Amino acid sequence: MKKSFLTFFILLLFPFLCLGQSATTANISMINNDAEIDADLRYITNFLDIEYKKINFIGEGLKGNSFRIVATEIWNGEVVDSSTVIDTSEFPAPHLQKINDEEHEIRVISMLTDEKKLRVMFRFPNFSTTREFDAVDTNEYSLRQADLINKKEITPGETFFLLNYILPYEENGVKHYCSVGQSGSDVFNWGREFDLEHYIVFTMTFE
């Protein structure tokens, strides 16, 4: 009788145990693949002052999800604009709305134009989109992948930092980028903390 009850109890819990396991493996990893960029291509992009980023996402949590990227512009320490760069859930073509694989790649190319605009192109496996943003009259902008040291995994439904388009922090005549990008998660207060005239924060959500 005790064995039968124990067997029944295990069978009763089994679906919940399975659900718990799938929830654990449903996370997504973001991988910076800049190191894989060909050296000759790096020379060309550096000469032309073009930024190029390779970002890959891996995980079971990708499948069946749409994604959204939002750009937030901060001027003189104040958030002045937030706009959607792309939201695949709004695509008219159903086959482009959802990710159908456990891997997803993003290629980002950007530059400061002659009209002093930051032009950013997001390239995905099946489509691309390009946006332009007002900029300060300087060639010191740097596009950097958000520091995810304290967040190894991305959970579907949670918004996370993808990229930051920043200006350097100047101290004693020396300009620093890493001290800005690695200063913590209070990203929207970097303008006040480092006296940055302008920067753009790109966030992303899988949902």
β-bridge partners, 176: 169
**Domain-wise residue ranges, the chain:** 27-206
Contact yes or no for 3/32 (Cβ under 8 A): no
pTM of the model: 0.82
Q: How many CB atoms lie within 10 A of CB 105?
A: 15
β-bridge partners, 153: 29
Classify burial at 175, counting beta carbons within 10 Å of its beta carbon; exposed 0-12, middle 13-18, buried 19 or more.
Answer: exposed
* Nearest Cα to Cα of residue 131 among 144, 119, 148, 149: 119
DSSP label at residue 183:
S
* C-alpha separations of 26 from 19, 60, 65, 156, 157 in Å: 10, 5, 11, 8, 11
pLDDT in tens, 1-26: 444 444 444 444 444 444 443 444 46
pLDDT in tens, 96-152: 999 999 999 999 999 999 999 999 999 999 999 999 999 999 989 999 888 654 456
Q: What is the mean pLDDT of residues 44-55?
A: 90
